[in-house]
């Protein structure tokens, strides 16, 4: 598993479903560079069980992301037609109708592979037959990418383990606080808490205040 933190986020242009039902052919990451922080999260499959709980959890917080000038983007290895179909199904019937942020169609798996979150590898055996060592779907991964296109945070969960959306927001807040104030954020820091000035304040000084 590659660690992308501190590196340029892999760029892409992909088909996607936006605004809950509009299919576009050229959704790109680079159009947000210099303008917005990006939260890019991967999920395993459409029409499953844990995945819709996560997609709705992100949707419930969409205004909080927007208020922080964050572009929220989802991605799975399903097709844009699959995404579109799932978006037409009501929540009580297992669908994700009401989700409005973009959902990328990584059907050729190149985005998942470039972010190194694809569960499985392709292998060629002695008979030159191609096989897969896993289900070839994305892990539950999340990347926070700053306006310069640098990955600042990376989280990867196995398939059964759903994510905490509030933690993603907390990490965005920590990144923005550091960008705006130059201070570093200690354990369990949240917006409004005191941060640390690593140039002038010792850890002991900081800890004496809490």
Query: How deeply is 101 buried, as exposed, middle or buried, from its count of CB atoms within 10 A (0-12, 13-18, 19+)?
Result: buried
How many CA atoms does the CB half-sphere of 99 hold within 13 Å? 31
Query: In this structure, are strands 70-76 and 103-105 parallel, antiparallel, or unpaired?
Result: parallel
User: Rounded distance, CA 106 to CA 104, Å?
Assistant: 6
* Contact (Cβ atoms closer than 8 angstroms) between residue 44 and residue 138: yes
51 is catalytic: yes
Task: Quote the tokens at residue 174.
Answer: 């920590």
**Which residue out of 29, 40, 51, 117 is catalytically annotated?**
51
Other CB atoms within 10 A of residue 180 CB: 8
* Contact (Cβ atoms closer than 8 angstroms) between residue 69 and residue 36: yes
Question: Residues with Cβ < 8 Å from 51, sequence gap 6 or more?
Answer: 43, 44, 45, 76
3-state SS of 25-44 is: EEEECHHHCCCCEEEEEECC
Q: Which residues are catalytic?
A: 51
């Amino acid at each position: 598993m590659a660690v992308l933190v501190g590196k340029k986020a892999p760029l892409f242009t992909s088909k996607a479903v936006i605004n809950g039902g509009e299919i576009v052919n050229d959704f790109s990451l680079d159009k947000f560079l210099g303008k917005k922080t990006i939260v890019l999260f991967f999920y395993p499959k459409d029409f499953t069980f844990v995945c819709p709980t996560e997609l709705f959890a992100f949707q419930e917080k969409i205004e909080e992301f927007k208020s922080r000038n964050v572009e929220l983007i989802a991605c799975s290895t399903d097709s844009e037609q699959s995404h579109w179909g799932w978006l037409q199904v009501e929540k009580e019937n297992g669908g994700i109708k009401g989700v409005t942020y973009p959902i990328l169609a990584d059907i050729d798996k190149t985005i998942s592979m470039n972010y190194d979150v694809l569960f499985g590898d392709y292998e060629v055996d002695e008979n030159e037959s191609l096989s897969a060592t896993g289900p070839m779907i994305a892990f539950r991964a999340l990347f926070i990418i700053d306006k310069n296109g640098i990955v600042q945070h990376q989280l990867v969960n196995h398939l059964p383990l759903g994510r905490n959306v509030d933690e993603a927001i907390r990490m965005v807040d920590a990144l923005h606080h550091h960008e705006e104030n130059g201070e570093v954020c200690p354990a369990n820091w949240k917006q409004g808490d005191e941060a640390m000035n690593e140039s002038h304040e010792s850890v002991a000084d900081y800890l004496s205040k809490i």
